[in-house]
Amino acid sequence: MTQADTIITGGKLVSPEGIVEAAIAIAGGRITRIGPAEEMPPAAEHIDASGLHVLPGAIDVHVHFREPGFSHKETWTSATQAAAVGGVTTVFDMPNTNPPTSTVDALRWKLDNAGRQAIVDFGIYGNIAPDNLAELRPMAEAGAVSFKLYMGSENPLVPCPPDGAILDAFALLAELGLRCTVHTENTPILEWRGARLRAAGRTDAAAHLEQHADVAAAEAVSRVGIFAEWTGCKIHIAHENSRYSLPHIRFAKARGVDMTVETCPHYLLLTTDDGARLGENFLRVKPPVREPGHSGPLFDALLDGTIDILSTDHAPHLPAEKRRASIWDCAPGFPGVETSMVLMLTEVSRGRMTLSDYVRMASAKPAKAFGLYPRKGVLAEGADADIVLVDMEKRGTIRAENLHSIGNATPFEGFAVQGMPVRTLVRGRTVALDGRPTGTPGWGRNVVA
């Protein structure tokens, strides 16, 4: 038997199909054997996982790690430390940085920067801009994992392209075989309502919700489904937040559109009622956390497969940036990579879902949607040894001050959790242990070989 680097024994291995007790041998960063402990080869390192569950690392296909341009909110070092502690072993970074990732040069800068700092594996999104069609193929060749389309944007760094440009971009991505992740809101509605509400002197949190009306989301989901159908482009709907979009998602899928969909813990676990606890403006995120009545159907949709993937839309900001008097000045979004797994394991502990459900939505489905499966997203012989040991008995309380993100303004402050990652391995190396990052910056790799 060939020598292994590491053996993990005594744990319960979780897959979407079920849970089995088995040992894992790791060599050269990969899982080389899964089976009874007595059949494992000799190894330099032994990890005792007795009493623990063993999960494939979470794959978060939607994070904003802020470099270049906004490193006061987050760096790749702080962000990937947060990810590792949170049980996330692969992240895909969004392009709304400054400069945005709309050119090959910007993409190369990010790949290099991430490669020097990351302690978990990563992919980098290219941006579909109104005027960069000629850059898309070169960006794909330079190692972009996927592309992001802001169909629903007021951000001058990543403006929404006109529909004609979107169709051309989709036709090209269909040729390249790459999935496009889409922020699905109707930009003209956002701009029109934003101007009207500002002109009326509105600065309250409810104005943000009025601007980002459900109809703006439902229309964009429906339209992008039609564009995907006509071009053959694979699409991924980002951060689904509205129950009114669900019929349009189901209709597109029923027509055979290759559409995957994600939602995030804040849409599943918060409502506008949480504004009273947090300060109404603090809750600002795009698209918004909605009134009571959405989170339940979104949770159900995640369990029935209408929504495929759990992501975080990790969007760190400093607490001061989220506590401004006018809603329009309040930075949208929350950090998420460090809290997502503990929050969802807590839902498992409450009996709202199973560990197998969690692994399906957080690991297997994202890996499948973005072409990483079965190298990632599964505990299997030959797969990367991206592994999280989870203690389902361990309890804790989420505290912003304990998070590793620089922009640590979490809306889950004070949440009691049960079920926590206690050790995270990326390609066989322990990158976090008992809540502390242990990985060496530069260990993380681009998933696009």
Point out which residues bind ligand DOR (CB under 6 A): 64, 96, 183, 285-286, 315, 332-333
CB 239 → ligand DOR: shortest distance, Å? 7
Other C-beta atoms lying within 10 Å of the C-beta of residue 66: 27
- In Å, the largest CA–CA distance within the chain is 75
C-beta closer to ligand DOR: residue 55 or 269: 269
CB 25 → ligand DOR: shortest distance, Å? 41
Backbone phi and psi for residue 126, each to the nearest 5 degrees, phi listed first = -90, 155
C-beta closer to Zn ion: residue 9 or 90: 90
240 touches Zn ion by CB under 5 A: no
CB 140 → ligand DOR: shortest distance, Å? 23
CB 127 → Zn ion: shortest distance, Å? 12
93 touches Zn ion by CB under 5 A: no
Number of residues assigned to the chain: 449
CB 333 → ligand DOR: shortest distance, Å? 3
Closest CA to 349 of 390, 402, 303, 298: 390
Backbone phi and psi for residue 91, each to the nearest 5 degrees, phi listed first = -130, 150
Backbone phi and psi for residue 31, each to the nearest 5 degrees, phi listed first = -80, 120
Q: Among all residues, whose Cβ is closest to Zn ion?
A: 313
Backbone phi and psi for residue 53, each to the nearest 5 degrees, phi listed first = -100, 145
313 touches Zn ion by CB under 5 A: yes
C-beta closer to ligand DOR: residue 155 or 402: 155
- 96 contact, one of Zn ion, ligand DOR, none, CB 5-8 Å limit per kind: ligand DOR
CA-only gyration radius of the chain, Å:
21
CB 315 → Zn ion: shortest distance, Å? 6
**Contact (CB, 8 A) for 12 and 20:** yes
Q: Among all residues, whose Cβ is closest to ligand DOR?
A: 333
The number of residues that bind Zn ion (CB under 5 A) is: 1
74 touches Zn ion by CB under 5 A: no
Q: At what angle do helices 214-231 and 187-199 cross, to 10 degrees?
A: 160
**Contact (CB, 8 A) for 379 and 415:** no
Stretch of 305-313, 379-387, 402-410, 440-448 contacting Zn ion, by CB under 5 A: 305-313
C-beta closer to ligand DOR: residue 100 or 143: 100
Encoded tokens for 192: 């029109």
- Strand bridging mode 416-426 / 387-397: antiparallel
Positions that interact with Zn ion (CB under 5 A): 313
